[in-house]
Chains A and B, each alone.
Chain A
Amino acid sequence: MQFKKSIAIGQYIPTGSFVHKLDVRFKMIFLIVFIVCIFFIHSIYGYLLFLGLLVLCILVSKIPLKYFLSALKPIIFLLTFTTILQLFFTSTGELLLDWWIFKVTIDGVYEAVFIFLRLILLVFASSTLTFTSTPMELTSSLEFILGPLKRVGFPVSEVSMMITIALRFVPTIMEETDRLMKAQSARGIDFDKGNLFQRIANLIPIIVPLFISALRRADELAIAMEARSFQVGVKRTHIHVLVFKKHDYIFIVTSLLFVILVCIYF
């Protein structure tokens, strides 16, 4: 089993487009507003307008559509399941089809289309953000957006430090898992055979050493960070400072206005 290649952490795809250059904090705030608005729309036109805006963003970002489609893969089951459920089990509205236990009503069709578009919009919108921003940009943006919480004692910079370290160590731990699995395979464990319980039992000799080594790593990393003067709770400066530019303001004002107006009228 080889899963180093199959999982991409930090899905940043550099194309140097306009969307990439936008201030990441704006993109993140816009995404949040966009997602909230999706749940307030109750007309098909509203959804189509939103989809139009998103398609425009995707086209400008110059990122091939196949990346967006592959982002849909993990939710394909959820997507078909909820759509079918809405289609066949909505009982209100004019009856269109009645066969055995299935009843399709006009409301059901609407609900099914809504839920389908909603999920697709959610995935495409958040993918646009993660495809066009580096993990570091995302963390520093999160630190900015959560900034006000510092006043109530929430450790914002510590949390963002934790996210950074987690992102940094994902590939390292993956490599290690890969190595451990190969080592166990060499000793005769077949990870693809046996019933569910056997398969779970097979994972124990992977998980135990993985945890031990992760704890050891954490210990050494803490010492290395301390040696470079890291202190918990002390303010840090940053190499990259996020600066709002003119086009950021224009983008955020127009797009937010558009989204909110659509949300109100449809």
Chain B
Amino acid sequence: MKFIRFNHVSFQYPEALDEIFALRDISFDIEQGEFLAIAGANSSGKTTLGRLCDALLLPTEGTVLVEGLDTKKEENVYPVRQKVGMIFQNPDNQIVSTTVEEEIAFGLENLQVPSIEINRRVNEIIHDMQLEEIRERPPHLLSGGQKQLLCIASVLAMKPACIVFDEPTSLLDPLNRKIVLSQIKKLHKQGMTIIYITHLMEELLLATRLFILKKGNIVFEGTPREAFNFSEETLYNYHLYPPKLIQIIETLKMSGIEIPKGIINTSELVNYLCQLK
């Protein structure tokens, strides 16, 4: 089932001085339950694309359909925002309330859910995400990872079918990044549609499909595995930093060892090298 459909979408920020489009004539479909990663340089249009999915921005030309609802129609804006949740880069700037449970309840309060139902759902989410210990805590006493998990929890409380993650791990340390990523992986397994915006090659591997954006155009569409076959030069051109693995493979190739295409992680590389012996 087509969950989100972009139909010849172009977008221009109204405050932009020149005639530059943030996105140019983009068309694609996202299936229910898909994990789509979006990569690209700064100001390539990644965030704009994410916000178009949530009706936070409306296309200048073309249409965005979420489960068949046109985001341009005013009466569809709030139903669309309920179907599609958003997680931003800086958790500090998206937490509204003074305690964890109030924060999870925030979206539900906006939807005018009765208080008994709010309590039931908040308890459920807190139990599912194991936040019992920090339930009453004010957000400034949480770690970065806990804050981002709280943001995910408060979006989940609204029961969306899709979540757009806009570089959610870029301000986190490696351990917290791992915690947040494993939560996202879990959500995808449970059938959530996920749109994941990132700069990091390693994170692309979680996805089933990958878009690379450049200056408002989709310049690559394929699987993340294919992206790992790009030469270092191509990656730099797409503003992606080659992970250690690709650097190692390149070095091995330079010293005359033949490495086949399609290797994406260390165990695959090690297996191949052992066979050579």
Chain A hits for B97, CB < 8 A: 136, 164, 168
Chain A hits for B158, CB < 8 A: 228-229
Stretch of B105-113, B170-178, B239-247, B262-270 with 4 or more beta carbons under 8 angstroms from chain A: B105-113
Instruction: Mark B49-60 against chain A: 1 for CB-CB distance below 8 A, else 0.
Output: 001001010000
Of B81, B115, B140, the residue contacting A172 (CB under 8 A) is B140
A241 within 8 A of B: yes
Measured CB to CB, the closest approach of chain A to B87, in angstroms, equals 9
Q: How far is the CA of A167 from the CA of B82 in the complex (A)?
A: 27
Closest to A223 in B: B56
- Please state if B90 and A229 are interface contacts (CB–CB under 8 Å): no
Q: How far is the CA of A43 from the CA of B243 in the complex (A)?
A: 81
- Please state if B139 and A168 are interface contacts (CB–CB under 8 Å): yes
Closest to B154 in A: A228
- Please state if B110 and A230 are interface contacts (CB–CB under 8 Å): yes
CB contact list, B31-59 vs A, under 8 A = 51, 54, 56
Of B81, B98, B102, the residue contacting A227 (CB under 8 A) is B81
Closest to B139 in A: A168
- Please state if A229 and B96 are interface contacts (CB–CB under 8 Å): no
Main secondary structure of the interface of B (DSSP, over half): helix
Of A216, A217, A229, the residue contacting B82 (CB under 8 A) is A229
Measured CB to CB, the closest approach of chain B to A211, in angstroms, equals 15
Measured CB to CB, the closest approach of chain B to A145, in angstroms, equals 19
Measured CB to CB, the closest approach of chain B to A195, in angstroms, equals 35
A231 within 8 A of B: yes
A6 within 8 A of B: no
Closest to A230 in B: B110
Chain B hits for A229, CB < 8 A: 78, 81-82, 107, 110-111, 158
A175 within 8 A of B: yes
Closest to B95 in A: A168
A171 within 8 A of B: yes
Q: Please, how many residues of chain B have a CB less than 8 angstroms from a CB on the other chain?
A: 40
Known: A227-B54, A227-B86. A239 touches B94 (CB 8 A): no
Closest to B119 in A: A239
B99 within 8 A of A: yes
Instruction: Mark A126-144 against chain B: 1 for CB-CB distance below 8 A, else 0.
Output: 0000000011100000000
- Identify the interface centre among B98, B105, B108: most chain A CB within 10 Å of its CB: B98
B85 within 8 A of A: yes
Measured CB to CB, the closest approach of chain B to A3, in angstroms, equals 15
Chain A hits for B140, CB < 8 A: 171-172, 175
- Please state if A237 and B119 are interface contacts (CB–CB under 8 Å): no
Closest to A236 in B: B109
A225 within 8 A of B: yes
- Please state if A136 and B88 are interface contacts (CB–CB under 8 Å): no
A224 within 8 A of B: yes
A158 within 8 A of B: no
Known: A10-B98, A135-B98, A220-B94. A239 touches B88 (CB 8 A): no
Closest to A213 in B: B93
Of B98, B109, B113, the residue contacting A168 (CB under 8 A) is B98
26 contacts between A and B (CB under 8 A): A10-B138, A136-B99, A164-B98, A171-B140, A172-B140, A216-B93, A217-B92, A220-B90, A224-B94, A224-B96, A226-B56, A227-B81, A227-B86, A228-B107, A229-B111, A229-B158, A231-B78, A234-B110, A234-B112, A235-B112, A237-B112, A238-B109, A238-B118, A239-B101, A239-B105, A239-B118
Residues of chain A touching chain B, judged by Cβ–Cβ distance below 8 Å, are: 10, 134-136, 164-165, 167-168, 171-172, 175, 216-217, 220-221, 223-231, 234-241
Rank and list the top 7 A-B pairs by shortest CB-CB distance, nearest first: A224-B94, A239-B105, A171-B140, A220-B93, A228-B107, A227-B86, A229-B110
Given contacts A224-B94, A229-B107, A234-B112, 11 further A-B contacts (CB under 8 A): A135-B98, A171-B140, A172-B140, A220-B88, A224-B88, A225-B96, A227-B54, A228-B154, A229-B82, A229-B158, A237-B108
